[in-house]
Amino acid sequence: MGGGGQATGGHASRSDSARDGGRTTSGPASPPKRTYGGVSADERRAQRRAALLDAALEIIGTQGIAKLTVSGLCAQAGLNERYYYESFDGRDAVLAALIDRIAQEMAGAIIGALQTAAADTRAKAHAAISAGIHLLTDDPRKAHVALVAGMATPELRARTNQKVRIFARLVAAEGIDFYDITDPNPDPAIDFRATYLVGGLVQTLTAWLQDDLPLTRDELVDHTTDVFVLLGEDLARRLT
């Protein structure tokens, strides 16, 4: 971008060097990040992003994805609209970030439940399934985002399917560890069954939330546990 007094080849001029005490510089120093009330700029940015995601959860979970607009989101979050573009470049980006956050919360709940459950197949399965289902259904807004809004566009469906695969790998890894399968190349049937179980649970939970399955939540957890244990124990007998 045309030169205005800059030397060619990327070198500082003599006068620039002299003004800098004989040192050459590569450009102006970055301004220090300001801290207000002990909160850094990065922390404030993270707080604004979290507030926008909280607002998105409320709007999508109670009014539907069609009501998610920039103005509505910022009004719900109590933020100026310029802060929306600080974190997101469109509606799908907001939804993707919200799906990611819910998936992280669910993974934390499931792993925590597994760590405290008794060391037997049914107890582990029941604890993990109960933790995941409770996280989504204790706050129905999260279930709506994860299971309904998450399928709204091809890009969001791809992201939701990616999360299903991540949880399937978690199930497979837990099974390999629990049944002490030491083969460095685990049988592909493990991954197949884990994907089948997690994908089936997503569809079953969606049907239950739509009142298509006349079960209580506890019955849903128990029946799902039965299926996980049945397929897990059967495969363990085949492989060990």
Q: Report pLDDT digits (tens) over 11-37.
A: 444 344 434 444 444 445 544 556 656
Does residue 219 have a pLDDT over 70?
yes
46 and 153 assigned to the same domain: no
Residues 202, 146: contact at Cβ < 8 Å?
Answer: no
The mean predicted confidence, pLDDT, of the chain is 87
Reduce the DSSP state of residue 203 to 3 states and report it. helix
Which amino acid would we find at residue 235? L
Does residue 123 have a pLDDT over 60?
yes
146 and 50 assigned to the same domain: no
Of 29, 56, 87, the one marking the end of a domain is 87
122 and 59 assigned to the same domain: no
76 and 189 assigned to the same domain: no
CATH code of residue 224: 1.10.357.10
Reduce the DSSP state of residue 188 to 3 states and report it. helix
Total domain count, the chain: 2
Of 49, 66, 87, the one marking the end of a domain is 87
Does residue 43 have a pLDDT over 50?
yes
120 and 227 assigned to the same domain: yes
Domain hosting 44: range is: 40-87
Q: Report pLDDT digits (tens) over 165-217.
A: 999 999 999 999 999 998 889 999 999 999 999 999 999 999 999 999 999 99
64 and 150 assigned to the same domain: no
143 and 182 assigned to the same domain: yes
Please state the pTM of the whole predicted model: 0.80
Any domain includes 3: no
Within a 13 Å sphere around the CA of 122, how many CA atoms are in the beta-carbon half? 5
pLDDT value at residue 226: 98
Does residue 100 have a pLDDT over 90?
yes
114 and 191 assigned to the same domain: yes
